[in-house]
Chain A
Amino acid sequence: MKRLFAILLIVVMGIFIFSTLYSNNGKYNFSKFGESTLNGKVSEKFVNKSVNGENKEVKFGSENLETGSANLVTSVVVNYRAFDTLGEVTVLFLSALGVSVVLGGYKNRLKFKVEPNFILKIGSKVAVSIILITGFYIFIHGHLTPGGGFPGGAMIGSAVLLMFISNDEFRVKVKSFSALEGLSGSLFIILGLIGLSAGGFFLYNYMPMGKLGSLFSAGLIPVVYVLIGLKVGSELSNLISHFAREGENK
């Protein structure tokens, strides 16, 4: 009876929400699925600025663009709104700090009851190498293909997690990962301060733009993405290594 009442309530709420959103004389009506009116939104400005400043077709190999990145999402996230990305990295750092404060005192590593056999031990090492190479590829090519710093770092973290599950003797050197994380975070802020002194804005894009579509293009965007990927990957590896512990607390 309770579940039937819940399903009925969800159906009534859905009909109410969709009928108000798709009504033509309401105040907050949405456009139809797959259509959108671009005038009156901020996104039109970004699209036109990321190309030539006018509504022209841009081909691969053209030069003298404002942001030379082929991926439009990247040019918004790391160039126009780079300060928000710094805030996201700070939020992730604070969560990893909380986990290390609560679970940092345990000494021994978590042991599983199931003994891993020979095929799992050898095959997991092959899979880990492929996952690591894919993660590095995704955050190096962040300005050309979909992806970026956060998915690449999460892939590195998932590779470390696979090594933890498949091998009982595997351990992570926590101090080196902490040093890498602090170094990449500091370099990100130092690059922003250099831009402040050179162009007048924090994280100003002062490096030369190359040709659209080549690997060394788009100025500061690939450097910042490599730093974000290393920082996120080391943070997630630290968090996983703190999770997989047990024993006496100090």
Chain B
Amino acid sequence: MTNMSIFELFIGLTMIVFAFLAIESKKIVNSIIYLSILSMFSVISFIFMRAPDVAITEAVVGSGLVSALFIVTLIMINKKVGDKK
């Protein structure tokens, strides 16, 4: 706990802030975007922990594929139900 730098602590606090924003936002699209930003900050913290393999996998899967699949699913649900959010 004593060896953590100031920058790393700042990244951890911003991750907590974006997680709360993803829960508390009114629109579903905004919460998906906040989750994607949270994944990008977790990539930086993985690089600080000296794990580049996990960082590459998180950048591709957690920030690219999962967000895009959520958005495509949201478009399909809005087409079937008919309300625009």
Interface residues of A (CB under 8 A from B): 22, 32-34, 71, 73, 110, 112, 138, 146-148, 150-151, 154-155, 157-158, 161, 165, 236, 240, 243-244, 246
Contacts and interface: CB of A to CB of B under 8 A. Distances in A.
B61 interface: yes
Contacts of A71: 53
A33 B68 contact: no
B75 interface: yes
A187 to B, nearest CB: 24
Contacts of B55: 146
Given A32-B3, A33-B3, A161 B65 contact: yes
B57 interface: yes
Interface string B61-72: 100110011001
Nearest to A244: B72
B56 interface: yes
Q: Which of B53, B55, B61, B79 has the most CB of A within 10 A?
A: B53
Contacts of B53: 71, 73, 146-148
A147 B51 CA distance: 11
A161 B68 contact: yes
Nearest to B3: A34
A114 to B, nearest CB: 10
26 contacts: A32-B1, A32-B3, A34-B3, A110-B72, A138-B56, A146-B53, A147-B53, A148-B53, A151-B56, A151-B57, A151-B60, A151-B61, A154-B57, A154-B61, A154-B64, A154-B65, A155-B60, A158-B60, A158-B64, A158-B65, A158-B68, A161-B68, A165-B68, A165-B72, A243-B73, A244-B72
SS class, residues of chain B in contact with chain A: helix
A151 B58 CA distance: 9
A164 B64 CA distance: 14
Contacts, number: 51
A184 B75 CA distance: 34
Nearest to B75: A112
Nearest to B50: A34
A146 B52 contact: yes
Given A147-B53, A161-B65, A33 B1 contact: yes
Contacts of A147: 53, 56
Contacts of A155: 60
A150 B57 contact: yes
Contacts of B61: 151, 154
Contacts of B74: none
Contact of B4 (A33, A154, A158): A33
